[in-house]
């Protein structure tokens, strides 16, 4: 036993003195998130990045925490077809326009002048050719544990070449009321309801993807045509733990996206499921000059399903 105490004393004496570290805070930059609205325009959310060492990363965000990271008063414009369209600030950090349409193979340039920081953020992208959904259906699965899953089936014709896709499912979608907001209204998703009678209350807005501004629930996933180039692609996707009932409406959209945006979405999904101090940190790619996030213009081809 005495040798054990001697060993502990020796080990204790080998412990080095703590070294004080002063880590420089990362510069706060504009973070860009875009949402394309088929045949209606686009909306864009601007927030500011924050350091992992700042108070904002501890615990959950309150509405007051969120407000300080929203970028207000910015000059935001998109240029395409030799015309510059200025996006209107609809609310704090939220910008939109009903004049910007998604046109195949057109080049789009985003320019953001951040008045508060005195910096300019830019990005360029191109709209890929739209790909339509041939057919789609959905099935409600009820488990013994009372949890509900939604099983989606769909197929589409993949064009020749290397292609990447983003799919979105919206439960009881609502058309965005751009006209109301442009005239000073406060209700973003106050447009006509497409249908549905889900029993759950709509979740709070999701500033990362914007999807829940338009629906009671939304899900996003990606796929590629690897091994299926130029073929008809048939897919099944399951959304777990979802609150849906018969006669609810699901709007399924298929967007052909760039490889860069596909990799960004894949990395974002890995980052969202990462376990702090266990999972290796994920670095998110970006096409934003002097900023973060991703500027993507794509055409979400829609297909509406009424649940049985």
pLDDT at 51 over 80: no
Among the listed ranges 51-60, 95-104, 232-241, 252-261, which one has the minimum average pLDDT value?
Answer: 51-60
Among the listed ranges 10-14, 67-71, 219-223, which one has the minimum average pLDDT value?
Answer: 10-14
Structure tokens at 147: 């949890």
Of residues 212 and 301, the one with the higher pLDDT is 301
256 occurs within a structural domain: yes
Residues 84 and 52 in one domain: yes
Whole-number pLDDT of residue 145: 66
CB atoms inside a 10 Å sphere around CB 158: 18
Residues 152 and 266 in one domain: yes
Q: What is the pLDDT of residues 148-201, one digit of tens each?
A: 899 999 999 999 999 999 999 999 987 666 666 556 554 555 444 444 444 333
Q: Cβ distance 307 to 246 under 8 Å? A: yes
Last residue of a domain, one of 126, 152, 176: 126
Q: Are strands 148-157 and 119-126 parallel, antiparallel or unpaired?
A: unpaired
- SS3 string, 50-116, reads CCCCCHHHCCCCCHHHHHCCECCCCEEEEEECCEEEEEEEEECCEEEECCCCCCCCCEEEEEEEECC
Residues 109 and 164 in one domain: no
Residues 166 and 200 in one domain: yes
Strand ranges across the sheet with 301-306: 217-224, 164-171, 249-257, 301-306
Of residues 94, 120, 83, 82, the one with CA closest to residue 42 = 94
Residues 118 and 165 in one domain: no
Residues 177 and 83 in one domain: no
Sign, CA dihedral 270-271-275-280, equals positive
5 occurs within a structural domain: no
Q: Cβ distance 170 to 211 under 8 Å? A: yes
Whole-number pLDDT of residue 28: 84
DSSP state, residue 277? T
Of residues 128, 248, 142, the one with CA closest to residue 193 = 248
Q: What is the pLDDT of residues 24-34, one digit of tens each?
A: 556 789 999 98
CATH number at residue 91: 2.60.40
pLDDT at 277 over 80: no
Q: Cβ distance 56 to 48 under 8 Å? A: no
- Give the pLDDT band of residue 215 (cuts 50, 70, 90): confident
Whole-number pLDDT of residue 257: 95
Q: Cβ distance 48 to 31 under 8 Å? A: yes
Residues 120 and 219 in one domain: no
Whole-number pLDDT of residue 182: 59
Q: How many domains is the chain built from?
A: 2
10 occurs within a structural domain: no
Residues 122 and 138 in one domain: no
Last residue of a domain, one of 126, 143, 159: 126
Give the domain extent around 121: 30-126
Residues 104 and 211 in one domain: no
Residues 116 and 151 in one domain: no
Q: What is the pLDDT of residues 85-118, one digit of tens each?
A: 999 998 888 898 988 888 888 899 999 999 888 8
Residues 139 and 62 in one domain: no
Q: Cβ distance 243 to 148 under 8 Å? A: yes
H or E element, residue 67: helix 63-67
234 occurs within a structural domain: yes
Residues 147 and 243 in one domain: yes
Q: What is the pTM of this model?
A: 0.78
For residues 16-41, average pLDDT: 73
H or E element, residue 179: helix 178-182
274 occurs within a structural domain: yes
């Amino acid at each position: 036993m005495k040798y054990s105490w001697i060993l502990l004393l020796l080990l204790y004496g080998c412990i080095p003195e703590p070294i004080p570290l002063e880590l420089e805070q990362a510069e706060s930059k504009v973070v860009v998130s875009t949402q394309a609205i088929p045949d209606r325009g686009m909306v864009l959310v601007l927030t500011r990045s924050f350091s992992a060492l700042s108070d904002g990363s501890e615990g959950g965000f309150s509405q007051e925490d969120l407000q300080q990271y929203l970028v207000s008063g910015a000059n935001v414009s998109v240029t395409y077809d030799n015309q510059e369209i200025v996006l209107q600030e609809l609310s704090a950090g939220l910008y939109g326009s009903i004049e910007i349409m998604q046109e195949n193979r057109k080049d789009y340039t985003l320019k953001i002048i951040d008045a508060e920081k005195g910096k300019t953020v830019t990005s360029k992208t191109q709209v890929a050719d739209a790909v339509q959904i041939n057919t789609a259906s959905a099935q409600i699965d009820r488990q013994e544990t009372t949890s509900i899953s939604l099983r989606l089936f769909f197929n589409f014709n993949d064009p020749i070449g290397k292609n990447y896709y983003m799919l979105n499912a919206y439960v009881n979608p609502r058309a965005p009321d751009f006209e109301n907001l442009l005239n000073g209204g406060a209700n973003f998703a106050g447009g006509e309801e497409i249908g549905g009678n889900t029993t759950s209350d709509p979740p709070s807005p999701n500033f990362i993807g914007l999807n829940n501004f338009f629906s009671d629930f939304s899900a996003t996933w990606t796929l590629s045509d690897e091994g299926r180039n130029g073929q008809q692609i048939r897919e099944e996707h399951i959304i777990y733990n979802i609150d849906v009932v018969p006669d609810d409406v699901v709007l399924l959209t298929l967007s052909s996206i760039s490889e860069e945006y596909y990799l960004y979405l894949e990395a974002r999904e890995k980052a969202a499921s990462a376990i702090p101090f266990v999972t290796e940190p994920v670095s998110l790619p970006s096409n934003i000059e002097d900023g973060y996030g991703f500027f993507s213009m794509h055409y979400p081809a829609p297909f509406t399903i009424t649940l049985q």
